[in-house]
Structure 1
Amino acid sequence: MINSTQFSYFTLDAYFDSGVFKYLYFLIILTFYMSVVCVNLLLIVVICMNRSLHEPMYLFLCSLFVNELYGSTGLFPFLLLQILSDIHTVSAPFCFLQIFCVYSYGSVEFLNLAIMSYDRYLAICYPLQYNTRMTSKKIALLIAVTWLFPFLAIAVLIALSAPLKLCGNIINKVYCGNYSIVKLACSDTTVNNIYGLFYTVISVIIPLILIIFSYMKILKVCFSGSKQTRQKAVSTCTPHLVSLLNFSFGSCFQILQSRFDMSTVPSVSGILLSLYFLTCQPLFTPILYGLKMSKIRNICKRLLCGEV
């Protein structure tokens, strides 16, 4: 019979000895993290302080930028500490806290992108009814659901994983993952697997279906509409689509890495790809929207130049 227990700490086995280069890696990641914080904070302040940007599209964008800050803060400080440390262990409570932050970040991101596509669908397909359909109460409700549902869903996920009796405490990743812990369990994990599948469908598959439906309707209107309608659709939807594709790529690899054997992938490549959706998205998204949306771009220019 295999001995099982509840460990007080986990060992992250994906880290390797980089010698003196660890200080270089530390500076690179610190610079990256500070860039993420500065860019997202700038855009949050710009949207909150300018009444001309208190429109549904920009309020959803503000929610997206807050989530980028939240997700990157759940990873980068921990990553910086682990790079400088010689012993790559993490306490069980902190490990589950990180799982909560990382997983809820991913869920909020997908839901936020879904409500943004719904907003663009209403604006392009029903322009005359947009203000009556997208009311202040509806905006507040959509943003609240976007944040509250993932928090509750991940809390249940962790409540199912935390009591599991484990046969080991070595996680082959650079940060904690829920399925990595479930795979260490000696006890029955049927409930965990069923709920994990349910959670994936609700937080990933359904938002993607909503996004695909919205863009099918938008494309239909674009092909049958005027040149002005097509230009408006392209200018407002391009950043959203690029951001969605970027995040979906990172998320898909993360799911594949968790569920399947990826031993054939070089370790360094595996680490970089597993970190992709947590590192590139928080910096890529605000820069993309800041560059593509003229209203935000012009206000940022005035702010940085010291103009009122």
Structure 2
Amino acid sequence: MAEGFNETYLTLPGHAGFDKLRYLFFFIFLTVYIFISFTDSLIVFLICSQRSLHKPMYVFIAALLLNSLTCSTAIYPKLLSDFLSERPVVSRSACLCQAFVVYSLGGSGFMLLSVMAFDRYVSICEPLRYATLVSPSAVAALLLLAWLLPASLLGGGALLAGRLQLCRFGLDRLYCNIYSFVNLSCGSTLVNNVYSLLCNAMIVFLPIVFVLFSYSRILVVCLRQSGSFRGKAMRTCLPHLLVFINYSVCTVFELVHNRLQADVDAVVPAVMSILMVIITTLFNPVVYGLKTQEISKRVKNLLCYRRTER
């Protein structure tokens, strides 16, 4: 009976280290999830409903926040139920589905950041060609590419992982991770590891290089312009840069930590997975809600309007 259970389900022993404080963590994560859901949804609603915000820059912001909201929904509800469970478990298929959704949306986040860098580059460095290069059809094509390319690549990775025969059944994370799932196999994982490196190169490192190249070109152009031009460019680019730095640091740390996790205490992966969830999902709405002047003004106007109605 136990053997059949192990072949079908995986346990999440990382939760054991939080047993004494699990209700506190449940409250913290519930609060964070409610905040993320409210702020992301509010900003996406404002961008969709306000005609003056129907510009490529704001469309890409809405896409990134929708991406973040979907990723949060793939993690937080299961995480919250696990904090209330005496023995958190997840089926193999559900684990792979969650890992696929989280990783593909994470890859889409990098692709969207590179698309946003392209938008800022054309706007600042090639303003006369902006309407042609960032047309509505181009925006739609870039959004489809940002979502479909990571989904197809990570779908292949999830299928490869699903074919592995596992000899261990305890994930060291608080949510499913393709790399941790593959490490449960007692057979050869060379194909999985090579494919993982290919995916990381395509949807993480290439977008990072493209964003760095775009902003280096923007910096060169700004240095040749007036102070007012530089100030305006900085105001539009700063939120994107902050989110890009957050994504890059967290992702690179995650990739390095995956490779070194065998050398650390068992509770460390669980703690790091908590920090990764909170930092990456909480950062976006805070930055775009506070640092994007037009969105911040619309949010304040909407909230003040609701308050005066009461």
Query: TM class, shorter-chain normalised?
Result: over 0.9
Residue matched to 2:89: 89
Shift of 1:266: 7.8
Residue matched to 1:33: 33
Shift of 1:271: 2.9
1:291 aligned partner, one-letter code: L
2:230 aligned partner, one-letter code: R
1:42 aligned partner, one-letter code: L
Residue matched to 2:51: 51
Residue matched to 2:231: 231
1:299 aligned partner, one-letter code: R
CA contact under 8 A between 2:172 and 2:266: conserved in structure 1?
no
Residue matched to 1:177: 177
What is the aligned-residue RMSD (CA, Å)?
Answer: 2.0
* SS, match of residue 15 in structure 2: coil
Structure-2 separation of matches of 1:276 and 1:7: 30
1:260 aligned partner, one-letter code: L
Structure-1 separation of matches of 2:69 and 2:19: 30
- Cα 1:172/1:273, change in 2 over 3 Å: closer
* SS, match of residue 11 in structure 2: strand
| Equivalent residues in 2 for 1:1-308, closer than 5 Å | 7-16=7-16, 18-19=18-19, 21-261=21-261, 263-264=263-264, 267=267, 270-306=269-305
Shift of 1:18: 4.1
Shift of 1:228: 2.0
Structure-2 separation of matches of 1:23 and 1:278: 18
Structure-1 separation of matches of 2:22 and 2:170: 22
1:294 aligned partner, one-letter code: Q
Structure-1 separation of matches of 2:286 and 2:248: 18
CA contact under 8 A between 2:208 and 2:248: conserved in structure 1?
no
- Unaligned 5+ runs, structure 1: none
CA-to-partner distance for each residue in 1:35-88, whole Å, 9 max, x for gaps?
000000000000000010000000000000101101111111111111111102
Structure-2 separation of matches of 1:265 and 1:185: 20
Structure-1 separation of matches of 2:150 and 2:265: 31
- Cα 1:177/1:18, change in 2 over 3 Å: closer
- Cα 1:280/1:189, change in 2 over 3 Å: same
Structure-2 separation of matches of 1:253 and 1:57: 28
1:23 aligned partner, one-letter code: Y
Deviates more, 1:35-44 or 1:24-33: 24-33
CA-to-partner distance for each residue in 1:107-129, whole Å, 9 max, x for gaps?
01111111101110001101122
- Cα 1:210/1:86, change in 2 over 3 Å: same
TM-score (norm 1): 0.93
CA contact under 8 A between 1:121 and 1:215: conserved in structure 2?
yes
- Cα 1:121/1:248, change in 2 over 3 Å: same
2:115 aligned partner, one-letter code: I
Deviates more, 1:197-206 or 1:5-14: 5-14
CA contact under 8 A between 2:17 and 2:267: conserved in structure 1?
no
Deviates more, 1:121-130 or 1:180-189: 180-189
Structure-1 separation of matches of 2:30 and 2:145: 32
Structure-2 separation of matches of 1:18 and 1:271: 9
CA contact under 8 A between 2:121 and 2:218: conserved in structure 1?
yes
Shift of 1:137: 0.6
More helix per residue: 2
| Identity across the alignment (%) | 36
Shift of 1:143: 0.5
What count of residue pairs does the alignment treat as equivalent? 304
CA contact under 8 A between 1:10 and 1:91: conserved in structure 2?
yes
Structure-2 separation of matches of 1:255 and 1:276: 14
Structure-1 separation of matches of 2:180 and 2:72: 20
1:98 aligned partner, one-letter code: Q
Structure-2 separation of matches of 1:276 and 1:206: 25
Shift of 1:19: 4.6
Structure-2 separation of matches of 1:49 and 1:92: 41
- Cα 1:226/1:17, change in 2 over 3 Å: closer
